[in-house]
Structure 1
Amino acid sequence: FYTGNLLGLLTPFALLAGLLSVAMLLAHGAAMLVLKTDGPVAERAARFGGIAALCALALFAAGGAWVALGLPGYAVTSVLATDAATNPLGKTAALTAAGGWLHNYSSMPATLMAPLVGLVGLAMSAVCLRLRRGGLAFIASGSAIVGIVFTVGFALFPFLLPSSSAPSASLTVWDASSSRLTLWIMLLATAVFMPIVLAYTSWVYRVLKGKVTDDAVTANPNAY
């Protein structure tokens, strides 16, 4: 839970994370425009997308340095009951020194692949956008987004929602889990509706495949 006010949410690190989100999604959207358009639109998208990718790269690296050197972490200080009933108060947690959020990376070195994919993906996205390789830029920026999201997840684990005013009340993966019945119902719903969503999305991409060119727009009687 949060006990501060709205302006209290706008901490320097939160603003950095927000700018990183904007920059990485801007680079991804620009790659999509380069892939789907040509002419001046594609040129502008490539130019601004490359800048956004480099900004995201710098912000991601700065965020990592900040977490390592200046941001306190959280740690569970009791035994986690992973097979017991959900109880957010069934554990104790405490603040740690700066760099505490990086503990999982030292104990599970394989997780270092996530930030590496994020950094390399952003760099490759900038290069591919400069070369007007929209498809490769889209794959690279998409991979970077996945890497960045997993970087955050690996750093937070097992926490999902840390509490700044009462660390022991923080929600972990096991505290926030649903009941067996709820998970079973959601599995059935997913089994029914996910194929429908995938079929519809595939049909949309098939209809909209190819580049949107000036000639195609001019020749389309339904264009306006």
Structure 2
Amino acid sequence: GATWVSLKIEKGALRDRAITYGVYAALAVIVLYALGGVYLAYGGLGFKVVGDVAVNGPSNPRNAEVVKEAGAWLLNYGTYPWMIAAPVLGFVGTLLALLGLKTKADPWAFIGSSIGVLGIIGSVGVSMFPIILPSTIDARSSLLVWTASSSHTTLFIMLGVTLVFLPIVLLYTAWVYKVLFGRIEVKALKTNPDLY
């Protein structure tokens, strides 16, 4: 948020305050993200799939066995080394945002922030794969990529709806960004309180 404000607001006290908060937030993200990784390794968290999974079978969570295992969320990084790209992007993007904020290079701060968020959220997905929703009550009832799917008819209907509505959403979003392009000036807000 701070990188977006620094990109959109005119140069002045409000922008400087956003940059200051953004620097502290970026430092907190780096520290907390690293601590989260340590907690995943040593905090007793984790689930993993044992045995074979019928990837072409019926969608039934009971067709796969999931067990709790400490540190299991980190196993995918050994099995699929390319997945390390997600946490690396989380750290590198946040560092880029931090440097962009410190040097007041607003576009780089925003790009870095976006890359950092993408990497952090992506690391959750690649760490948990193939588990989508672990069950802490009954690990065997956890939902996997293959056991939480819909029927072919449902997926086809969803595809049709997406083909119709996604272009509309993208066009509307592009129009909004075009209308809201540029920096906001405080004097414009004083003369037109409905500007935003």
Shared fold, TM over 0.5? yes
Hey, what does 1:45 align to over in structure 2? 18
- Asked if 1:77 corresponds to 2:50, the answer is yes
Once the two structures are TM-superposed, the CA of residue 212 in structure 1 deviates from its matched residue by 0.2
* Runs of 4+ displaced beyond 4 Å: 218-224
User: Separation in 2 of the partners of 1:52 and 1:80?
Assistant: 41
Deviation at 1:127, TM superposition (A): 1.3
Asked if 1:185 corresponds to 2:157, the answer is yes
Output the CA distance in 1 between the equivalents of 2:177 and 2:119.
25
- TM-score by length of structure 1 reads 0.83
Q: How does 1:1-224 map to 2 (within 5 A)?
A: 29-38=1-10, 39-96=12-69, 98-218=70-190
| SS at 1:175 equivalent | coil
**Counterparts of 2:68 and 2:190, CA distance in 1:** 61
Whichever residue aligns with residue 92 of structure 1, its letter is: E
Amino acid at match of 1:73: G
Distance in 1 of aligned mates of 2:162 and 2:94: 32
Shift of 1:214: 2.5
Q: CA deviation at 1:134?
A: 1.5
Does the Cα contact within 8 Å between 2:9 and 2:184 map onto a contact in 1?
yes
One-letter amino acid of the structure 1 residue matched with residue 46 of structure 2: G
Per the TM alignment, residue 219 of structure 1 is displaced from its structure 2 partner at its CA by 5.9
Gaps of at least 5 residues in structure 1 are: 1-28
User: Which AA in structure 2 matches 1:105?
Assistant: Y
Q: Using the alignment, how far apart are the partners of 1:136 and 1:69 within structure 2?
A: 35
TM-score with structure 2 length normalisation?
0.94
In the alignment, the residues of structure 2 paired with residue 103 and residue 199 of structure 1 have an alpha-carbon distance, to the nearest angstrom, of 41
Give the Cα–Cα distance (whole angstroms) in 1 for the partners of residues 46 and 193 of structure 2. Answer: 59
Tell me the CA shift for residue 222 of structure 1.
Answer: 6.1
Deviation for aligned residue 1:221: 8.9
Q: C-alpha distance in 1, partners of 2:42/2:186?
A: 51
In structure 1, how many angstroms separate the alpha carbons of the residues matched to 2:118 and 2:140?
A: 30
Identity %: 41
Q: How many pairs does the alignment contain? A: 195
- 3-state secondary structure, aligned to 1:72: coil
Report the alpha carbon displacement of residue 71 of structure 1 after superposing the two structures with TM: 2.6
Matched residue, 1:17? none
